[in-house]
Structure 1
């Protein structure tokens, strides 16, 4: 069988919305030795394709990191398949807090050097010497204590729409950038109790080991991340100390944890926590946009990008060249930094 998707995005999204059954959004990860990631990947693709699973999965020699959408009727069969593999047996599964069943529209499994792009040399420190795992209730009870520092190990565009009360939220654009930023920012706090958290827990595994390597004495991490915390707090009928929305890396782009909106539209400043990508694919910046601005700017981050969106085909090369001269490449549009949402005079450079 073909071990990759053969339809375009528009076809796949239409097929998803035409489905007459429910899906369940789940996530899981595990650091485990995989001797041949490519063979492992191909086997998983065959199995999960046969169950009509969608998702984004990374496989590496160090393990697996998966966010998936599984037909609810096939969920038991999917979990049985996981348990049939020694590397994936008894996998802790995290279920989405808000789930419309439209989180993914295709199955993508990629072989990567690492399951999280951290840019670290794993030979330089003991990656197995991780922090103490705290349950949701243990983490909940520690928040707000005077001797405790709560640190958000996610990127700034994630923490901007939701975070734990009093958390330190570094303005970092990547996980690799953030790890060093946290070490530097907290270098005088190595005796304090540190509580790390992220979306599902996988980033904290590496981050906690890195902090301990740099001399931090009391490093703790939220087991299962924000997703598990939200489920447990709801089950125990406790008031959430996570405020706002949890950013997720799928079509939903976020799930509300306590119903509050703490972010603002990057264009007009109105309260809003809806992320979108600029409709001008030359830009494609991830930013927050309210419904009114989305209508006015036609999904773009600026009037200039709206102009590019409607430029005649024969003129688009001029805009491409202007963007390249000004920014070099698309990475210059740092994800979600509101100061980047500004007018760009591209035509007269």
Structure 2
């Protein structure tokens, strides 16, 4: 059994570039795979490996400037959910495109998973799912607002177009592991929204700690690795991935005539042409021969 660690931490790296090489080397030396993003605002990513390997990488990260308080969430995996280890330099560790947003300055009120049900059941609370449309499509909290965004960068424009809907409401927000809510709650505070809350540890922590019989979660939770989705108790969900468009697919989706493994699904059949599908088929043949690793959801 392998350990998957999802992590993020907002801190100031004056120059993240020199951190890249040593971080990649410690991960590779310990057989750890996944993706880690470094930016001036901090670190974000998901990695998988043995217990000792994960501990070694986490110890290295905690020794980085300002990362002593690093928090992370763990879940099990029976097989390695990543093909390789990548450490990338980015402008943002989660892209919102709002240069004035700084979670280190202020964020919404953290709500523990045990207290989340009571908050979102209150009549004066509006619940907003800050994730992307394909993630929300396989699971969300009962009654949550779906912004219909294709990327997190679209969220500020959606808020500006819809903010009047939430006048006089307390706003509760959630995402997979918490990082998007760090930025979205800071953004709403800057827009004059006073009562902003977010689920501490995100959906993953809720699914880990709240018993299924008490849960208000409906469906599966999309994750950015080869497992594709998780459900209560952080058990594997029922979804696979279309390796053409990277959207999650339920078992019944893979029975549809539009589905061809590694090539197309009913959602993306019209998005690619014959030349694209020829490339995808060749890639899938390489995967079948063991020459390539089928890409997890966050790998390009």
Structure 1 length-normalised TM: 0.70
CA distance in 1, matches of 2:188, 2:273: 46
**Larger RCO (CA under 8 A, 6+ residues apart):** 2
Cα deviation code 1:94-137 (max 9, x no counterpart): 012x63342212101100000011111227x8862211111111
Out of 215, 236, 245, which is 1:240 matched to? 215
Out of 215, 230, 251, which is 1:290 matched to? 251
Cα deviation code 1:159-182 (max 9, x no counterpart): 111111111111110111123213
CA distance in 2, matches of 1:223, 1:189: 22
The match for 2:167 is: 190
The match for 1:201 is: 178
CA distance in 2, matches of 1:310, 1:61: 36
Cα deviation code 1:282-336 (max 9, x no counterpart): xx363535357457442322578999389889xx9xxxxxxxxxxxxxxxxxx9x
Out of 242, 248, 251, which is 2:226 matched to? 251
Per mean C-alpha deviation after superposition, the further-off stretch among 126-135 and 210-219 is: 126-135
Out of 233, 258, 265, which is 1:301 matched to? 265
The match for 1:117 is: 95
Per mean C-alpha deviation after superposition, the further-off stretch among 172-181 and 126-135 is: 126-135
Q: 1:122 to 1:306 in 2, by over 3 A?
A: closer
Cα deviation code 1:188-240 (max 9, x no counterpart): 42331111100111000110011111111200111111111111214xx7611
CA contact (8 A) 2:26 2:56 kept: no
Q: 1:86 to 1:121 in 2, by over 3 A?
A: closer
CA contact (8 A) 1:127 1:210 kept: no
CA distance in 1, matches of 2:228, 2:249: 11
How far residue 276 of structure 1 moved from its aligned partner, in angstroms, is 2.3
CA contact (8 A) 1:54 1:105 kept: yes
Is 1:141 aligned with 2:106? no
The match for 2:78 is: 100
Is 1:170 aligned with 2:143? no
Cα deviation code 1:243-281 (max 9, x no counterpart): 11110111111112389xxxxxxxxxxxx96342255xx
How far residue 42 of structure 1 moved from its aligned partner, in angstroms, is 1.3
CA distance in 2, matches of 1:304, 1:79: 43
Query: Can you give the 5+ residue segments of structure 2 that lack an aligned partner in the other structure?
Result: 283-296
Structure 2 length-normalised TM: 0.80
Superposed CA RMSD in Å reads 3.2
CA contact (8 A) 2:36 2:45 kept: yes
How far residue 74 of structure 1 moved from its aligned partner, in angstroms, is 2.9
CA contact (8 A) 1:149 1:195 kept: yes
- Greater share of residues in strand: 2
CA distance in 1, matches of 2:115, 2:164: 25
How many residues are treated as equivalent by the alignment?
275
Out of 136, 145, 156, which is 1:179 matched to? 156
How far residue 155 of structure 1 moved from its aligned partner, in angstroms, is 0.4
CA contact (8 A) 2:13 2:65 kept: no
Q: From the CA coordinates, give the structure whose radius of gyration is larger.
A: 1
CA distance in 2, matches of 1:203, 1:239: 25
CA contact (8 A) 1:183 1:211 kept: no
For residue 67 of structure 1, give the secondary structure of its aligned residue in structure 2: strand
Is 1:53 aligned with 2:26? no
